[in-house]
Structure 1
Amino acid sequence: MGSLVHHGKLKVRGSDLSAVEARLGYRFSDQAQLDLALSHISAVKGASPRLRSYQRLEFLGDHVLGAVVSHMLYEAFPGAEEGELSRRLAELVREEACAEVADDMELGPHIRLGPGEAQAGTNKRRAILADVAESVVAAVFLDGGYAAANDLVERFWRARLEAPRRPLRDAKTVLQEWAQARGLPPPVYREVSRSGPDHAPNFVMAVDLPGQVSAEAQGSSKQAAQKAAAAAFLLREGVWNGNEA
């Protein structure tokens, strides 16, 4: 850790936080904001520890992040309806996604913890890392305004926006929505065959829709085979976009 220097009522880790700034690509006018964003409640002594840890910043950062990512999605996917945009937003701001961003920002080693939490490795917990990533977004917002926060989120979330790490929707859900949009009843799945031993079965499932050619696929469980059949149907119809499973 870098040396501590007094900054108002806070002790700010000058050289330590400069390394964080370099990784973020943003230099704080008030480095105390960044120090607060990296301060876990266990490291705060005295009265009102929650007010002097990152918890309030996390609240703000969650909403700033949501606003920036929502705008990014609105611009990036002009043909997407509200439901798809909502699913994409949920994927980008979920806990694990924010924790991955915290890893990219290399925040873990710089989180200020109490002795017990430090020994327990709290700075490696995914929930804590996610909280701190949001807190840092808030700190940049407070220090530099919306434009600075926007730049930070663009820098660390853009790649995830363009290439989701997980499927956005289940193929069965996509097919059901496709059928509903055409006034068709929900797809019906039927077992075509089952083979293999009990410990390693193989199912072939078909999906049927009125007036449509059935699609078949196999899987190690009925559910997996149903998803594969739905995916096969969507691929055949040319409505598969590569972000479902």
Structure 2
Amino acid sequence: MADRLAALERELGLAFRDRKLLQTALTHRSLFNEQPHLLRELTDNERLEFLGDSVLHFVTTTWLFTTFPDQDEATLTHWRAALVSTKGLAECAAQLNLGQYAYLSRGEDNPVGRRRPALLADLFEALIGAIYLDQGLETAIGFIVPFLRARIDTIRQTVTDPTTALQELVQARHKSLPAYRLIEARGPEHRREYVMAVMVEGQEYIGIGSSKKEAKKAAAQAALAALNL
């Protein structure tokens, strides 16, 4: 176990003051299903994941705000959603080979299980939480920002649709998808107006447009604005 932690520290270029934090960041809850006795000495990474998610959002938001002073709130929201999406975080974790360091159950401990995007994203967030607690905010920022810089140009070229941004945001937060419905189509045929609603976190957001597609985009934009203010 100590060898695994030391190898990851070399990969990260960090020396943890409290290696227990690093060990916890790598411990998946599935491990205790098969080996409940380990609960006496280990803790799963879910609390660190919770903390790391908040640190990641704060650092990402601040970096986008200061790096792109001419961009509006909607654009920054789209970019942030893509940067912190499950897919995006899994790619960051894969660069560090985090999957190979994780402590998993036998059912998860295989090449496919160790490469699952949701698992990798959770590991990455938990690692951020551990770095923040052990090394402080400045070190956490120094760890996160290079990943943001490496991905932002691609995201700027591809993320323009608010429906895509909302989907990535909801997936990142809740591992689910937003649900859209048509409320009504109103007005004469030559000037038809559509009203769409999207359900996110138990709340509906409304959008209006000259087509169903435009109304869907407007609803997604309304949700993004409300969720990220």
TM-score by length of 1: 0.60
Contact 1:101 1:157 in 2 (8 A): no
Q: Deviations over 1:175-209 (max 9, x none)?
A: xxxxxxxxxxxxx9xxxxxxxxxxxxxxxxxxxxx
Deviation at 1:25, TM superposition (A): 2.2
Report the structure, 1 or 2, having the larger helix content: 2
- Alignment of 1:116 with 2:104, yes or no, is no
Deviation at 1:167, TM superposition (A): 1.3
Deviation at 1:20, TM superposition (A): 1.0
Equivalent residues in 2 for 1:99-138 (5 A)?
99-119=90-110, 121-138=112-129
Equivalent position to 1:35, from 23, 40, 61: 23
2:27 match: secondary structure = coil
1:112 match: secondary structure = coil
Q: Which amino acid aligns with 1:38?
A: L
* Identity of matched residues, %: 35
Distance, in Å, in 2 between the alignment partners of 1:151 and 1:42 is 31
Q: Deviations over 1:23-51 (max 9, x none)?
A: 222211111111110101111324979x9
1:26 match: secondary structure = coil
**Which structure has more RCO (C-alpha within 8 Å, separation ≥ 6)?**
2
Structure 2 gap segments, 5+ residues each? 165-189, 191-212, 214-229
TM-score by length of 2: 0.64
Equivalent position to 1:84, from 75, 84, 102: 75
- Alignment of 1:52 with 2:40, yes or no, is no
Q: Which amino acid aligns with 2:20?
A: A
Q: Which amino acid aligns with 2:120?
A: L
| Bigger-Rg structure (1/2) | 1
Q: Which amino acid aligns with 1:163?
A: T
1:193 maps to none
Structure 1 gap segments, 5+ residues each? 1-12, 174-187, 189-222, 224-245
Equivalent residues in 2 for 1:1-245 (5 A)?
13-44=1-32, 45-46=36-37, 52-119=43-110, 121-164=112-155, 167-170=158-161
Q: How many residues align?
A: 162
Contact 2:83 2:152 in 1 (8 A): yes
Q: Deviations over 1:53-99 (max 9, x none)?
A: 11111111111000001111011101011111111110100000000
Distance, in Å, in 1 between the alignment partners of 2:124 and 2:50 is 11
1:118 match: secondary structure = coil
Given the superposition, is the C-alpha separation of residues 48 and 19 from structure 1 closer, same or farther in structure 2, using an over 3 Å criterion? closer
Given the superposition, is the C-alpha separation of residues 32 and 165 from structure 1 closer, same or farther in structure 2, using an over 3 Å criterion? farther
